Amino acid sequence: MFRPLYFYLLTLVMALGVSAHAQFAKSPYVKRDPRVDKLVDKQIELNKQALRIRTTLEPGFRILVISTNKRDLAIDAKSRLLKIYPDQKSYLFYQSPNFKLQFGNFKTMKDAELMKKELALDFGENLIIIPSQVEVKGEKQEAENF
């Protein structure tokens, strides 16, 4: 009766001893390729450049093209804007119960007014210039010489 108990107890003690030894054993030496270090340095430099040309938000103006409670109408207007002005951004917001389509990132009111005149030909005279936080891309700075 005591023999099986001793056997299980001895097995348990041996298993714990092996696992404890495995945790405190020396880790193996890994030889690294020096090209990996060059790649890491290059990635660090690319990340620094990306931070320099990051898009920031600044006070500016956008044009409110449409405010409607019909989602399909707002999406159609957005697709028309993207076809006519693919280089400009448009923003579709939902403020209950209306969908609001805003267009452009203009730093000055004068730029927004010029674009409003162009948009009036396609979207009518019911366009409103609204102050907003607009996306501005940062200037790319020259890299430091090493």
pLDDT tens digit string along 95-112?
999 999 999 999 999 999
Sketch the domain layout of the chain as residue ranges.
Answer: 55-137
Residue 59: which pLDDT band, with cuts at 50, 70 and 90?
A: very high
Distance of alpha carbon 32 from alpha carbon 86, whole angstroms: 47
Chain-wide mean pLDDT for the chain? 83
Q: What is the value of pTM for the model shown?
A: 0.60
Which residues are registered as beta bridge partners of 124? none
CATH architecture of 55-137: 2-Layer Sandwich (3.30)
How confident is residue 32, by pLDDT bands cut at 50, 70 and 90? confident
Contact (Cβ atoms closer than 8 angstroms) between residue 102 and residue 94: no
Q: Which residues make Cβ contacts (< 8 Å) with residue 142, sequence separation at least 6?
A: none
Higher pLDDT, 8 or 117: 117
Q: What would the DSSP string read from start to end of 39-59? A: HHHHHHHHHHHHHHT-EEEEE
Rounded CA gap, 39 and 45, in Å?
A: 10
